[in-house]
Structure 1
Amino acid sequence: MFKSAYKKFKSFPIWLKITSYGVILYGIYLILLGLVAPYVIQTQLPSALQTMLGREVSLAKVSINPFLLRARIDDLSVAKSESSKKLFALKRLEVEVNFWQSLLTLNPTLSHINIDAPDVMFSRQQDGSLSFQDILTRFAQRAKKQPKETHDDGKIFALRIGKISLLNGQFAFTDSATGTHLHYQKLHFNLNHFDTRALISSHQTDKPHNKFDLKLTGQQQGQMNLTGQLQLSPFKAVGHLSVQRVALTPYWQLIQPYIRAQFAHGTLTTKLLFAVNVQKNGLQWQLNDGSLALNNLQWQDKTQPKVSLAHIKLSHINASSADKSASIGQVVLSKPQVEAVLKNNSLDLVRLFTPKWPASSSTKSAPSQGQSAAPWQASLDQVSLEDGSVSLVDDDFGQGTRWDIKKISLKTGQLSSDLSRAIKYQLSLALMSPSHQNAGQLSSSGEIVPQTQSVRAKLKLSDFDLTTLGAYITPYVNIQLHSGQLSSVAQLRFSPKQQFDYQGNLALTQLSIDDNVTDKPLLKWQKMAINSVHFSQAKNILDIKQIQLTKPFLRVVVTPKRQTNLSHLLVSHQAAKPSSHQAKEPPQTAATKSAANPLKINIGKISLSQGRAFFADRSITPNFASGIDSLNGDISHLSSKPGTVAKVHLKGAIDQYAPVTLSGEINPLLKQPYLNLDLNFKNVELVSVSPYSGTYAGYYIDKGQLDLGLNYQLKDNQLLGKNHIVINQLQLGKASNSSKAMNLPIKLAIALLQDRHGVIDLGVQVSGDVNDPSFGVGSIIWAAIKNVITKAVMSPFSLLAKLVGSDQQLNYVAFAPGRAMLDKSEQQRLDKLAEALKKRPKLKVNVRGSVNLAQDALAISEFKLKQQLLKVSGLAKLPKDLSASQFPMQGPLVDGLDKLYTSQLKKSVKATRKKIVAQIKAQQGGKEPSAEQVTTAVHISMYNQLIKVQKVPKSQLQNLAQIRAQQVKSYLVNHDKIDPDRIFLRNSKAELKTDSTKVKLQITE
């Protein structure tokens, strides 16, 4: 049958035979391609892939349409290693061959490649390896085993594909180390008119080759679009990338283990044109006209937001790997907000954002020899920061002070990576108080030169509220800062060579400070304007044209414990021991540096307007208080230059009406300060210092005025003072019974010092060494005045003698023994005393007579003997020069002497003579004395013996003392015209003084 059929077939015409052969071959083709090939592929491909990949591979169906030359694979999947989960899955892969196009062009041509719902899922393990790491290893090992092809003509295999499309793709990545899970879906990719040998041309045709389009939807509906065109030989791709609202939170999880800050939210949007090509020297790329925006960014710690931004926008981004250049037109930061805490000498943001990378054992590659890669050049046209804010809580130094900086605005000029250009900037911000009130504004503009590390800037600070510094001041100073605003307009310069330079004006207004000792105002002023300030660190100078103080006020109070409120301003702290790692500079080194190059200071003028001062002393009872008002004037030309002095001229009023002036020269800026100042007070009411007089003088003041002229000179640290004190009409009141009163007769001192017009005129000189720790101007003045008073009351007659220009001692009147008559010299002494008493009309004199017991008794005894001799002799009068040795040799006086000797002493004159003869003879060695010699010796013996037996009663001596005192008063009253009520006789009889023949005088008030 077969043979008959064959014979019959051979009889067919040739065309029929050819047709038959064609049909048979076509049938075989259909069977092989449509049935056999799918079956073989479906059964062999999984095992082959499994052998290649080392993974389990499954394939649901393979079908081939032999008519359309279309092959399709359904449900292909590759499992993960040692897991039932999928690494890769594919719902459908379809490839269609364009037979006729391939035949006509003699190049393989595919109509299309369609990939439907590919799903890629891979992960990173805890050890850092990828889930497909083993597959890459197998490929690498296989590549090593295969022989390398030596023939390469440089041409790429020709292949054309009408369209390559990928629809509904998904991609998932899981990082076990960080817990990150990334998932992308709706992945669509189209590549039209693909030609492996087509080139990108600037002349686009109706059907441009290799044009692609990639679309991807990420988590939280973020979109990515990538469109462009590519060529394979040489490889080149150009296109446009667009990313819309891609959530950044999942990506932050990749670095979250290494950063303490938690990323709360934020999205990325970007657009750019790109070009990528491969050349002989490697891959090169280019970005053009790009833009990038990071929106709604926020980082936080465990409890609250720390850093947030409305957006960061970068515009006009251009970069080229060939030129190694990158440029950005503008960077805009909108509404950045920062919350920070300073604690334990560390800013919490530093800790939150400092990476904690794991230790790495990798070694750095050695640099290539003989080659130095050209550096990249980058530029940024402008940085703009808008409506920023910073909140800083200072728990270290500010005791929880919160600093709020609002409305921060910053704009810069062009920036370059080579730092060759000056960076211009404009900055403005507002400071807020804890009550969210405006606490000052700061604006600045200028430029920074990175290469020279120099800065030139204009600065304007307006109404900075100094009360925000309260927490920083109170730990060191016992004050309460109630108000104060600082303003400044200045130009600043800084560079490593020229160092810091400041030129501008400062103003400190509405300052009000209370001290914590009295809880009352300590220091105030309405305004302090410091004009034309120039500080140069390089030249080490500080020049100030003028300092103007308007309505300054200072309050000084002495506390009940005798300490001033100023002495408690500084809070005492124990000196902290320096850490072992801190460098220590010996004190002498710092001192040497300071002395070698001291700061040069020049101040043109310091002006005071409507100043006031208040002084109160609570340590005395009653309390004292006084004030200086209307203080005006200036200090001009104050300089630290040696040999210069500043002129001082200040005027004011004590208690509103008593004028006070301060004038002279000072220079406290010299190494050894200099001053020569005159301080004058006029018509100061002494009732205002009555509390002091009550406490220290023992009496209150009822009346009086003070003129005080003080001159102080300080030279070589030695203070010399000449003080002219005039007290007019001083009148003391009642005694204060103060335990602190000095133990001196103050009323007497006043009477001694006050002239007949009621004026006390004193010149007091003071001196002291300012290096002495106990030095104090007030203390040395008081010591000098106290010394004057002490000298006055302790030596009042010396003071009175000086008043009348006498060197005599006026505190006594001398009398001859036994007599009560004033001789001429003593009368002159009393005349001088009277002259002084007339100049001190408040003084009174106590007069007390006295006797010398031996001298006055002897003189009275001799006087009594002479009276007896006159009586018994019968003479009218005695010889003027009568004495024991001048007694006559014979006559009535001799007879009377013999008579008195015999009657009163009961002795024989002959026996006395005989005894004296024997004494003289013995003294002369047996030689007989002359009669005259014997008579003279006898008369002397008898005369002296009679004197000794005369009785002088005490009453007679008392009367002598009293008469002497009366003689002194009588002379002062009658002759010198001193009021009798100023001369007081003391009872000389009741308390008889027996040590002197003088009348003693005592000054009283």
Structure 2
Amino acid sequence: MQWVENARSNPRIRKGLIAVGVAFLMYVLFGFLALPAILKSVLSRTLSETFHRKTTIQDIRVNPLELSVSVRGLTISERDAPSTWISAGEIFGNFQLASVIRGGPVLSEVRVTRPIVNIVRRPDGSYNFSDLLEEFGKKRAKRKEEERLLKYSFNNIRIVDGSLDFDDGPKMNRHEVRKIQIAIPFLSNLPYYADRYVQPSFSAVVNGDPVSFVGKTKPFTESLETTFDLNVVDLDITNYLEYVPMQREYEIPSAFLTVNAVLSFTQHKNKPPTLRAEGDVILKDVRVWGRDKSPMLYLPLVKASISPSDLAAREFRLASLRIQEPEGDVSIDRDGKINLLSLMPQEEKENVEEAKGRKTTPNEGSGTKEPIFSVASLRLAGGKVRFADASRGIPFKTELGELRVDVDNVSTEAGKKADAGVSFSTESGETLELNGNLSLSPLGSEGTVSLAKVVLKKYAPYYSDSVRFDVDGGSLDARSGYRFAGGDGGPEFRLSGLGASISDLRLRQREEKEEFLRIPALAVKDAEVDPGRKEVVVGEIATAKGTVAVRRSVGAGTNIARLVPEGSHPAKPADAKEPAGIPSGGKAPTAQPWRVTIKKTVVNGYAVRFEDRTTAPPVEIVLDRFRLAAENIAIGTHQRGRFSFSTRYNRQGNVSLGGTFSADPPSFNAKFQADNLPIGPMQPYYTERVKIFLTGGSISAEGNVSVDARKDQPLRAGFRGDVTVNGFSSLDKDLEEDFLKFSTLHFGGVDVEYHPTSVAIREISLTDFYSRIIVHPDGTLNLQGIVAKEGVGRDNALLHPAAAGVPEKTAPADNASQAPEVPVRIDTVTLQGGSVKFSDHYIKPNYSASLVEVGGRVSGLSSEESKLADIDLRGKLENSAPLEIVGKINPLAKDLFLDLKVDFRDMDLSPLSPYSGRYAGYGIQKGKLTLNLKYHIEKKNLKSDNKVFLDQFTFGEAVDSPDATKLPVRFAVALLKDRNGEVHLDLPVSGSIDDPKFSIWGVVWQIVKNLLVKAATSPFALLGAVFGGGEELSYLEFDPGSSVIPASDNAKLANLAKVLSERPALKLEIEGHVDIDKDREGMRQQIFRRKIAARKLADLVKTGQPAPALDNVRVDAAEYPKYLALAYKAEKFPKPRNFIGMAKDLPAPEMEKLMLTHIQVTDDALRQLAMERASRVRDRLVALGKVEPERIFLVEPKTLPPERKEKLRDSRVDFRIK
């Protein structure tokens, strides 16, 4: 041949052919000689390890040319025993080159010759291979995944001359099956077909009886169609179930099988063979029990009519499936285990979670055809399901009856949709009906579902642990369209056109007998729920004529707050578990929030009753005629809606609110109006804290309210409008008399903001008000006891000095706490038509007075430091004594500023006689009081000028009172009262209001006490405080030895004369005194000067000149030596003489010394000097013409020298007032 010659002549071709020949030779030698030994070793070891049993192989032959393998003498022993479990004379397989192309083993022939299987059923029901079932079952899920990925095609499968020995230990029986001949055309999941196939057949000798299934083959046809008739009538399959090598947690005491079907196998020339099935399969009287003999499932009749189905093409088609009157018993035990899950094989239950978590996808391009299952008509009728759940705190039971399922044309083929309908009713009359379409590939359904007469109370076991109330009544009706679609991204579910209604809903807390909520009707319309988009849209929610009862109890709070148990999870039995087969919830992933929109909400005719049992008596508030209408309630969409709300308050007042709002973020802006809301119902809340009883009063308000509660921002709120309190009246509980009442308290133009906080009020007006101020018999003030404080009684609020003394001012708070936290502005405060009645029951006899026509205006109040308010308040005491308060004030600023003038004129004092008698010891016969007070506070410093004017004040008779002062009050009044019967006092007070010991009235009281003490001890000091001069009026000083009143003291005597003239009731005592030493020397000097003046006076007489008084004679310096010498000469005392016996002429100093030495001043002379001084003062006072002589008395001093006083001369005259 030419190509041979070319190959021989071409070295490259020759070398290639030689290489191929060598490789082929090596392949053949390896296949025939080496591979069998390798396979024998590997296969023996692998099977031994896999089955945990000793495996031996006599011989393996491989024909690399035919691609066939023959395993001969295979023996697998029993576990831990030498006896044989499985053996085979030969296992032959013929591989095809298509295995490489198809990606899986393709065998044209598989033959097992003389197989022998020994099966032993032990007394405990297990088998000699049960250990393998348990081991392989645990790996089944993984193995199924591998099997799904493995592609194969086994053709012309034959078992030749097989044997099976079955040793049934529990029944002490032995079964032998011999001469087993089985022919199976193919087992494949690959689109591969062989050139020829064996005809399916089965034959064997069972316990000596031959059994065979041989099909009928149509001759003379290319297809060689072979058919098998399968006819089984009422086969009791329970006899065979116990031999199924698997553990079961259930029993099947009854089950009968009837089969009337035809199987046909057809070989086609140029396409794969077909295996068709057609006929009926009937199950009768199927009963399934649990291990405790409890019924689980009963199927009286199940009939499946098989349409022509090509099993080889993995098609399973049913013309009809009829299930008549099935019964099921579904139960969940205390551990949460569902009984029906016991029907699953154990390994299926253990791997259910793993299987759910594994995502499987078909192998695209593999050519593998997914199985097709279809049912043209499925009918389930007359079904009944009994359900019991013991896993809840309260066991639950129900029974579903009249169960009906109708499905037409259901199929696993892609895009096929079936018509489906389900309905049932319960023993309580509840019904469910579902109608729609159903698709299995992809999984999906769309239709409508309706519920009717669902008894809410019945399902309490499922919500009772999550709430603290019981549902005493109520039924639910609902209808909705639905759509469900499965997909790679997860299932999608949606409800549309949802409508639901609740009738006669009644809720009651378990510890109470009365219902707290009753809703006759509640309807939800046109709702849509889309869990995938997390969106809910509700067309309308409407409810009417419901009642709500809110109760508050001691130690328990409100019933509404106790509807849900503490904690976030409902309680359940400690040993309870989640139902088996239900995945336990893990940590939910973070996801977007739900969006909820309610287009319209109407609540009409409701009544809310609030009862607070923590007070005595209980508070009861009723809100009826309750109406709420809202549009566009949106959560998660940042949309604003509108709402209106109105209700009647305690059958008297009315409240309405309407405007816009947002649920996300929470905010609203609305117009608010309240009319005639009674205050009385709220009284028990403060009745223990105050000592008054409200007898009338109502609140009205109108304005705008806004609230903005944005996330991560402080709450903002505000009110703008007017607030009015009308017809307020109250009684003092102790006295049962009016305490405070007024016609109107109006707050106009209120503008209150929170964050930033501010308060602005255009006007505050109080009209026709009346207040009662009472001093109780124990000395306490009713105002101080109105607010009851823990641990503080009336003993801490004593008013009268005799009961409490002068109260000390408490320490002021820190400046920071006193500083205004918010800006405040009040434009105008108006008082009109006010009256205050004061009664003192502490004084005996009692005292009463009334302040009437109280009115006025305060304008410009502000917390700004620079703004001052004008104040002008007026009133009258007993319609006669006018009161007027005017000035400027800024009480709202951080530093108080006050500049006030208070005028109180012509108050009649005789009604105050009880006070005077008790504390002064004398009644008041007559008198009037006028006060002119000025107060100035700036930078915490007080300056006040308190002018007091008493007109014709006269004490009455003495009163025997243990509380009366011992001080000379009458004398003090006499000192202060002038000739016109008037007393004028100026009592200035100053100090720091930050000083905790500083008190204005404390200082005033101390001044009054000091006046009385001074009246007793230093009356001239008191007079000096009034007229000036102070202590200087109590004495008059003289020069030593002189009785001449110094010219510098003329003003003092004039002032003293004025005091005595203005106070004719006073008498003056004058007592003269001398300084023994200084006045003695003074008198000596005065006598000396008088002697010299006498010499000059004698000369004046001699010359005929007028002779003045001796004390008025003045000797000048030039004349002094002459008259000294004459005076010396006239002296009679012995004088120094010269040697002739005549008196010597001495120098002036010597003469002065001798004269002074011989002048003697006696005590009588000193006493006479003291008397002369007193006389001269008396004469001077009388000479001034203002003091009557009979009111002045000269007093003989007990001692010539007076009482020593610092900085005063003993040469003086002392005055005493009587």
TM-score (norm 2): 0.62
* Paired position in structure 2 for 1:733: 956
Paired residues of 2:704 and 2:721 also in contact (CA < 8 A): yes
Paired residues of 2:392 and 2:461 also in contact (CA < 8 A): no
* Paired position in structure 1 for 2:376: 160
Deviations 1:515-564 (A, max 9, x none): 67877655443321111111233444221111111133444444555554
* Paired position in structure 2 for 1:500: 717
* Paired position in structure 2 for 1:491: 704
Q: Does 1:182 find its partner at 2:397?
A: yes
Pick from 15, 31, 38 the counterpart of residue 233 of structure 2.
38
Compute the displacement of 1:321 (Å): 6.0
Pick from 748, 755, 770 the counterpart of residue 531 of structure 1.
748
Paired residues of 1:511 and 1:527 also in contact (CA < 8 A): yes
Paired residues of 1:182 and 1:219 also in contact (CA < 8 A): no
Deviations 1:319-353 (A, max 9, x none): 35676643211123441524443665865554541
Compute the displacement of 1:646 (Å): 0.6
Q: Does 1:272 find its partner at 2:480?
A: yes
Paired residues of 1:217 and 1:223 also in contact (CA < 8 A): yes
Higher radius of gyration, 1 or 2: 2
Q: Does 1:419 find its partner at 2:627?
A: no
Paired residues of 2:316 and 2:373 also in contact (CA < 8 A): no
Moved more, 509-518 or 657-666: 509-518
SS at match of 1:649: strand
Structure 2 Cα separation of the partners of residues 643 and 43 of structure 1? 105
Over 3 Å counting, the alpha-carbon distance change for 1:218 and 1:501 in structure 2 is same
Deviations 1:547-599 (A, max 9, x none): 11113344444455555444445555599xxxxxxxxxxxxxx9898799842
SS at match of 1:353: coil
What percentage of residue pairs aligned between the two structures are identical?
21
Structure 2 Cα separation of the partners of residues 805 and 39 of structure 1? 141
* Paired position in structure 2 for 1:356: 570
Paired residues of 1:723 and 1:765 also in contact (CA < 8 A): yes
Over 3 Å counting, the alpha-carbon distance change for 1:507 and 1:85 in structure 2 is same
Compute the displacement of 1:659 (Å): 1.0
Over 3 Å counting, the alpha-carbon distance change for 1:560 and 1:417 in structure 2 is closer
Structure 1 Cα separation of the partners of residues 1036 and 397 of structure 2? 125
Q: Does 1:609 find its partner at 2:823?
A: no
Compute the displacement of 1:612 (Å): 2.2
Paired residues of 1:117 and 1:166 also in contact (CA < 8 A): yes
Paired residues of 1:719 and 1:768 also in contact (CA < 8 A): yes
Structural mapping, 1:104-503, within 5 Å:
110=319, 114-138=322-346, 140=348, 153=369, 156-157=372-373, 159-161=375-377, 164-167=379-382, 169-189=384-404, 191=406, 194=409, 196=411, 211-230=419-438, 237-278=445-486, 283-297=491-505, 298-304=507-513, 305-320=515-530, 325-334=535-544, 335-341=546-552, 344=555, 349-354=560-565, 355-357=569-571, 377-390=595-608, 401=619, 405-432=623-650, 438=652, 440-473=653-686, 480-481=693-694, 483-495=696-708, 496=713, 499-503=716-720
The residue type equivalent to 1:89 in the other structure is: Y
Q: Does 1:713 find its partner at 2:921?
A: no
Structure 1 Cα separation of the partners of residues 431 and 247 of structure 2? 36
Moved more, 447-456 or 653-662: 447-456
* Paired position in structure 1 for 2:199: none
Compute the displacement of 1:70 (Å): 8.5
Over 3 Å counting, the alpha-carbon distance change for 1:639 and 1:176 in structure 2 is closer
SS at match of 1:509: strand
* Paired position in structure 2 for 1:1003: 1217
Paired residues of 2:321 and 2:375 also in contact (CA < 8 A): no
Over 3 Å counting, the alpha-carbon distance change for 1:388 and 1:993 in structure 2 is farther
Compute the displacement of 1:91 (Å): 3.9
The residue type equivalent to 1:724 in the other structure is: K
Over 3 Å counting, the alpha-carbon distance change for 1:799 and 1:278 in structure 2 is closer
Over 3 Å counting, the alpha-carbon distance change for 1:595 and 1:829 in structure 2 is closer
* Gapped regions of structure 2 (runs ≥ 5): 1-228, 262-278, 309-314, 793-812, 1091-1100, 1114-1122, 1203-1209
Compute the displacement of 1:480 (Å): 4.9
Structure 2 Cα separation of the partners of residues 938 and 254 of structure 1? 136
The residue type equivalent to 1:420 in the other structure is: H
Structure 2 Cα separation of the partners of residues 376 and 965 of structure 1? 111
Over 3 Å counting, the alpha-carbon distance change for 1:650 and 1:453 in structure 2 is same
Paired residues of 1:342 and 1:392 also in contact (CA < 8 A): no
* Gapped regions of structure 1 (runs ≥ 5): 1-31, 100-105, 202-208, 576-589, 867-875, 898-912
Compute the displacement of 1:705 (Å): 1.6
* Paired position in structure 2 for 1:547: 764
Over 3 Å counting, the alpha-carbon distance change for 1:91 and 1:181 in structure 2 is farther
* Paired position in structure 2 for 1:640: 863
Compute the displacement of 1:470 (Å): 4.1
Compute the displacement of 1:822 (Å): 9.8
Pick from 898, 902, 906 the counterpart of residue 675 of structure 1.
898
Over 3 Å counting, the alpha-carbon distance change for 1:166 and 1:887 in structure 2 is same
Alignment size in residue pairs:
886
* Paired position in structure 2 for 1:692: 915
Structure 2 Cα separation of the partners of residues 808 and 597 of structure 1? 49
SS at match of 1:419: coil
Pick from 61, 66, 76 the counterpart of residue 286 of structure 2.
76
Paired residues of 1:107 and 1:160 also in contact (CA < 8 A): no
Over 3 Å counting, the alpha-carbon distance change for 1:126 and 1:796 in structure 2 is closer
Structure 1 Cα separation of the partners of residues 294 and 1022 of structure 2? 122
Paired residues of 1:885 and 1:940 also in contact (CA < 8 A): no
Deviations 1:613-644 (A, max 9, x none): 34444554444433321111100011111221
Paired residues of 1:186 and 1:215 also in contact (CA < 8 A): no
Structure 1 Cα separation of the partners of residues 1053 and 334 of structure 2? 122
Structure 2 Cα separation of the partners of residues 125 and 731 of structure 1? 103
Moved more, 525-534 or 749-758: 749-758
Q: Does 1:774 find its partner at 2:988?
A: no
Paired residues of 2:634 and 2:640 also in contact (CA < 8 A): no
Paired residues of 2:975 and 2:1019 also in contact (CA < 8 A): yes
Q: Does 1:56 find its partner at 2:251?
A: yes
Over 3 Å counting, the alpha-carbon distance change for 1:73 and 1:780 in structure 2 is same
SS at match of 1:37: strand
Structure 2 Cα separation of the partners of residues 701 and 987 of structure 1? 35
Paired residues of 1:178 and 1:255 also in contact (CA < 8 A): no
Structure 2 Cα separation of the partners of residues 409 and 716 of structure 1? 56
Paired residues of 2:767 and 2:832 also in contact (CA < 8 A): yes
SS at match of 2:232: helix
Structure 2 Cα separation of the partners of residues 537 and 823 of structure 1? 78
Structure 1 Cα separation of the partners of residues 1129 and 317 of structure 2? 193
The residue type equivalent to 1:296 in the other structure is: D
TM-score (norm 1): 0.73
Structure 2 Cα separation of the partners of residues 976 and 928 of structure 1? 61
SS at match of 1:220: coil
The residue type equivalent to 1:416 in the other structure is: A
Deviations 1:299-332 (A, max 9, x none): 4223334444334321112235676643211123
Structure 2 Cα separation of the partners of residues 792 and 647 of structure 1? 41
Paired residues of 1:117 and 1:170 also in contact (CA < 8 A): no
Paired residues of 1:467 and 1:483 also in contact (CA < 8 A): yes
Over 3 Å counting, the alpha-carbon distance change for 1:944 and 1:498 in structure 2 is same
Paired residues of 1:555 and 1:614 also in contact (CA < 8 A): yes
Structure 2 Cα separation of the partners of residues 667 and 818 of structure 1? 65
Q: Between the two structures, name the one with larger relative contact order (CA 8 Å, sep ≥ 6).
A: 1
SS at match of 1:766: strand
Paired residues of 1:70 and 1:97 also in contact (CA < 8 A): yes
